[in-house]
Amino acid sequence: MNEKNKVIVLKAFDTLFNKRDYATAERYWSPNYIQHSAHILPGRDGLFNLIKASPPALRYEHGLIMAEGDFVMAHGKYLHTGRPNWIIVDILRIENGVLAEHWDVIQDEATREQSKSGNPMFGGEFPT
């Protein structure tokens, strides 16, 4: 089940954030979707409307993904947000094969000059 849930999340994110295929994305998000993110309006419509209002160049890049039971955590990068790139851990609860609930932790991506550790926040390279 864990591997299946990871695949569901990655397909859902690619469909919504990268392809902007809202009709197909509806199959991945529950109509009763519960949103815990402070910057997104409630429900599936809140998320879809946020993406519709986002810059057309917005993209999601997958990093690490982990699953336990009905929960999936995905560490990713949102590029071309209209502000600094976001490094996000999305936490999702899967129910009956669809995304049912969401939490997130968001940081602006640091440049090489901003990084006190000297290491990039995502992947092996700093943003250009």
pLDDT in tens, the chain (128 residues): 799 999 999 999 999 999 999 999 999 999 999 999 988 999 999 999 999 999 999 999 999 999 999 999 999 999 998 888 999 999 999 999 999 999 999 999 999 999 999 999 998 889 87
What is the per-residue pLDDT for 45?
96
pLDDT for residue 128: 76
Q: Specify the pLDDT at position 28.
A: 98
pTM for the whole structure: 0.92
Contacts of 122 (CB under 8 A, 6+ apart): 61, 63, 75, 76, 77, 87, 109
Contacts (Cβ under 8 Å, ≥6 apart) of 33 = 43, 44, 47, 99, 100, 101, 102
